[in-house]
Amino acid sequence: MNPAALPGPQHLAATRFIDHDHPAVQAFAREHAKGLTPRERAISLYLGVRDRVRYDPYRIDLSGRGMAASTAIERGHGWCVPKAVLLAAVCRADGIPARLGFADVRNHLSTERLRKTMGTDVFAWHGYTLIWLDGAWRKATPAFNIELCEKFGLLPLAFDGVQDSLYHPFDRAGRQHMEYVNERGAFDDLPLPQLCEAFRQIYPDMPTTDAAPDGDFAADAAREAARSA
């Protein structure tokens, strides 16, 4: 889709995944949409999604229910895609047009367990949110909660509603962090079939249900960060 397209009714609509008509999403939006302007409220919503929903790539659930915005709130954790879906949902709930963007990124600071499971350091279909503010689509990436950034030695990712909010290329110590290697475009709703097919092909050994893992991503990340410091 054209990333410069003007917003339309589809960018405010509730969908199976961007389910802003769900009571949990409505309540989250009311709690976190603070400010007088759409930009102020979008920033507040971004911080709410970033920090209230814990980033956990050990629990990837590619079921329809698992990828819904309301499920991320109910479970209290999610990886980059459901957190991007949630940010789109709460923005739409507040009347701010939003959609989803995807890119492939090379993650230089993933955990050993995640690298073994994935078989690569490239995260395909990394998700972020595109929010329409002041006449333009602004990219916002709410994936890493503030506590994880502190444990992992990462620079917290902020969003000011003016500049695009994308992963930092380096961490606090100057080590490589994230590198964008391929853009997959913008979507009005979650393209789950494409996402599932990519995961089957690229990550055949990765569990894709919400079964409780036998590890703690934040703790693993902190240990690896300390060893490499």
Query: How far is residue 178's CA from residue 197's CA, in Å, rounded to a whole number?
Result: 24
Does the residue 19 lie in any domain? yes
pLDDT band at 134 (very low <50, low <70, confident <90, very high): very high
Closest to 90 measured CA to CA, from 186, 175, 22? 22
Query: How far is residue 138's CA from residue 97's CA, in Å, rounded to a whole number?
Result: 11
Given a cut of 50, whether residue 1 has pLDDT beyond it is no
Domain around 113: 9-228
3-state secondary structure of 155: coil
pLDDT, tens only, 5-50: 899 999 999 999 999 999 999 999 999 999 999 999 999 999 999 9
* Average pLDDT of the residues of the chain: 89
Given a cut of 90, whether residue 197 has pLDDT beyond it is yes
Q: What is the CATH number of the domain that holds 176?
A: 3.10.620
Does the residue 4 lie in any domain? no
Say if CB 10 and CB 188 are below 8 A apart: yes
Count of structural domains within the chain: 1
Does the residue 2 lie in any domain? no
Alpha helices in the chain (DSSP H): 23-32, 38-52, 69-75, 80-93, 112-118, 146-152, 192-202, 217-228
Say if CB 183 and CB 177 are below 8 A apart: no
What percent of the chain shows pLDDT beyond 90? 64
Does the residue 209 lie in any domain? yes
DSSP code string of 44-92 = HHHHHHHHHSEE-TT----STTTTSHHHHHHHSEE-HHHHHHHHHHHHH
| pTM of the predicted model over 0.85 | yes
